[in-house]
Every structure is written in structure tokens, then in C-alpha cells.
Amino acid sequence: MTGYAVTTREAAAGTLTIEIKSVNSRFLDLQFRINDDLRAVEPALREAIMGRVTRGKVECRLSFGRKVKADAGQALNTALLLDLAALQNAVRQHFIDAPPLSVNELLRWPGVIAEAEIGQETLQTEVVAAMTAALDAFVDSRAREGAALEAMLLVRIDTMDRIVHDITPLIPQVVLQFQQKATERMQEALGLASQNGAAAASQALSRQEALERIRQEVSLYGIRIDVSEELSRLAAHLAETRQILKRGGQVGKRLDFMMQELNREANTLGAKAAVKELSDASMALKLLIEQMREQVQNLE
């Protein structure tokens, strides 16, 4: 599920900015973009996110703009400047034509301008407070998207319910028609429909035995094309999917399973389809299920 939030918090030694964004993923995948001097707070950030999020590829960015000391006499890190000068002289002994560092480059060098100090405990407290506010906004944004996805899923469930409802009355009629047609064709193939008494007596297979065999074959064929059980299971799975959405909570993985079950029944319906109406219904159901499957993977 996608989501986005950013929060800024003013601390004594600078400005903390936390940005959280996520894209769809079946599992929880955390990535952090943090400066090396702030890596100590990463475990706290990870714990906070894992406590509120269970699914999605989540990226967290933490930036900290430190305040520069106002006293110009204390702003420069003279020890670091001396070290840079010594290093520059050593390098230019080997590379005579190398240009010296400019004033602008020196001032932009990390650590040359003294920055306000802040203890790790104080920093972690400020980061946790900023993360709490960012996570609240982040979860709210995902909740809004989840509500929109739920509405979309319910529309497709309603559509599938109508498909199942429309084709269910056709099943007994389809089975009966195919049984009658199969009986007539098998009787014609065996010559039972037009044979006279003398011809019947001369056949090794009696008429009664042939008719009994025809009834058995037709009954087996009728069982093979009868999709009443598949439609019943489809209706039950759709009802359960609706209940899962209604109960709320962490529904993503449960809905994943329901999509598998719905797809299995739709495939069986298509494999057993004896008329065009059932084949079309199977294709329509599988299309809707695939659309739902793509969105279900976004839900937490």
C-alpha cells in the first residue's frame, strides 16, 4: 500500500526532518537514508515503523540540519584547518600543478565550521518524537488509500455475485439438455432408435443392456459438467471475502488466500463449461479476480 508523510521538528541543536514513503509489496521491506553521524538512531526508527506497519516497501529518510554557533571566533575548527593544510601540502608535493583549496571549499568542508553539539540520548528522544508524528500522518494516508481500495474490491465482489447468481439457474437446464442430447446420439450410434425386433434379437448386446449402459455414461457425463458445487463455493468465498473486508484489521494475507480459492473455482468452472454462457462467466470471473489480486497485494 502506498503512503507518504513528512514532518519537521525544531530541536535545540538543529532541525530534524523525517520523510516516510511506501510502495506496494507483499512483505515488509524497510530502507533507511540516514547520514552516518545519525546511524545510532536507526534501530529506534526501525522499531517504531515495525510497530505500526506490516506490509509494503517503506523508505525512511532522516535529515538533521545543525545550527551554527553565532560566535564567529568559535565558528572555525582551527585544528581541522591545520590538518587540511598539512594534507594539501603533502598532496601538492606529488602533484605540483594541483590547485589549492579555495576559501569557499574550505568553509564547506564537513566540520570546518563548528556546529552545536547534541547528546545521543537527547537526539534519540527528538527523533522518536518526530517519528511518532510522521508515522501518525503516514498511517492516516495509508488508511485513506485502504478505504478507497476496499470500496473498489466491494464493487468487484458485487459484480461477481451477480455473475454467479445469473448462471446458477442455468445449471440444471444445461445438464438436462446435454443428457437428452447425449442419449439420443448414443442411441443413434448403437442403432437402437430405429432397429426392428428381428435385428435386435440378432445383436449380442440386448436393447436393455445398451440402454442401461447409455444411462450410466450419460449420468457420468452429467456429473462432469455439473458446476453447482463450484458455484456454491464461489458464493461462499465471496461472502467470506466481504466479511474479511468488513472486519478490517490486517487483511492482506487472508485476502491473498481467498483470491487463490476464488481463482481455483473460476478455473474449474471454465474447464467444465458445456455452454458459452458458462465459459463467458468463467472468463469474466477470472478477470475480476485478477484485478482484485493486484489490489489485494497492496492491502495491509
In tens, the pLDDT along 240-253 reads 999 988 887 777 78
- Burial profile 117-145: b = 16 or more Cβ within 10 angstroms, e = fewer: ebeeeebbebbeebbeebbeebbebbeee
The reported pTM is: 0.57
User: For the residues 95-121, what does the mean pLDDT come to?
Assistant: 73
Cβ pair 228, 222 in contact under 8 A? no
pLDDT at 254 over 90: no
Task: Give the model's confidence band at 158: pLDDT under 50 very low, under 70 low, under 90 confident, else very high.
Answer: very high
Has residue 39 got a pLDDT over 90? no
Choice between 119 and 12, residue whose per-residue pLDDT is larger: 12
- Whether 141 shows a pLDDT value over 70: the answer reads yes
pLDDT in tens, 55-96: 788 999 988 876 655 544 445 778 888 888 888 888 888 888
- Average predicted confidence (pLDDT) for the chain: 78
Q: Residue 20: what pLDDT?
A: 92
CB neighbours of 199 closer than 8 A, spacing ≥ 6?
A: 191
